[in-house]
A = this chain, B = another copy of it.
Amino acid sequence: MEPAYPQPLVMVDTALFTIRDERLRLILTRRKEPPFEGLFALPGGFVHAQEDADTEAAARRVIRGKIGFDAPYLEQLFTFSGAARDPRGWSVSVVYYALIPWSLLEGNSAAEAFPVDALPPLPFDHGQIVARAVERLRGKATYSSLPAFLLSAEFTMNELHRIYEQTIGARLDKASFRHKILGQDIIEEIPNRFRTGAHRPAQLYRLSSKVLTAFERKI
Question: Are B76 and A2 in contact, CB atoms less than 8 angstroms apart?
Answer: no
Give this chain's copy count: 2
Question: Are A79 and B94 in contact, CB atoms less than 8 angstroms apart?
Answer: yes
- Per the bound structure, the CA–CA distance linking A9 and B79 in Å amounts to 15
Question: Are B82 and A53 in contact, CB atoms less than 8 angstroms apart?
Answer: yes
- Per the bound structure, the CA–CA distance linking A33 and B2 in Å amounts to 10
Q: Are A49 and B90 also in contact (CB < 8 A) when A54-B82, A76-B78, A76-B79 are?
A: yes
A47 surroundings in chain B (CB, below 8 A): 8, 81, 92
Secondary structure at the A interface, as helix, strand, loop or mixed, is loop
Tell me whether A46 is interfacial, beta carbon within 8 Å.
yes
Looking at the assembled complex, report how far the CB atom of A142 sits from the nearest CB atom of chain B, in whole angstroms.
Answer: 11
B1, B6, B7, B89: the one contacting A33 at CB < 8 Å is B1
- Per the bound structure, the CA–CA distance linking A2 and B82 in Å amounts to 17
- Per the bound structure, the CA–CA distance linking A90 and B82 in Å amounts to 21
Question: Are B5 and A50 in contact, CB atoms less than 8 angstroms apart?
Answer: yes
A7 surroundings in chain B (CB, below 8 A): 7-10, 49
Tell me whether A88 is interfacial, beta carbon within 8 Å.
yes
Looking at the assembled complex, report how far the CB atom of A32 sits from the nearest CB atom of chain B, in whole angstroms.
Answer: 9
Contact with B along A42-59 (1 / 0, CB 8 A): 000011111001111000
B49, B54, B56, B76: the one contacting A6 at CB < 8 Å is B49
Contact with B along A61-88 (1 / 0, CB 8 A): 0000000000000001011111100001
Question: Are A92 and B94 in contact, CB atoms less than 8 angstroms apart?
Answer: yes
- Per the bound structure, the CA–CA distance linking A2 and B11 in Å amounts to 11
- Per the bound structure, the CA–CA distance linking A146 and B218 in Å amounts to 36
Question: Are B8 and A3 in contact, CB atoms less than 8 angstroms apart?
Answer: no
A53 surroundings in chain B (CB, below 8 A): 82-83
Question: Can you list 11 A-B pairs with a CB-CB distance of less than 8 A?
Answer: A3-B48, A5-B48, A6-B49, A7-B7, A7-B9, A7-B10, A10-B10, A49-B89, A54-B81, A54-B83, A76-B79
**B-contacting residues of A (Cβ < 8 Å)?**
1-3, 5-10, 33, 46-50, 53-56, 76, 78-83, 88-90, 92, 94
In order of increasing CB-CB distance, the 4 nearest A-B pairs are A49-B90, A54-B82, A54-B81, A3-B46
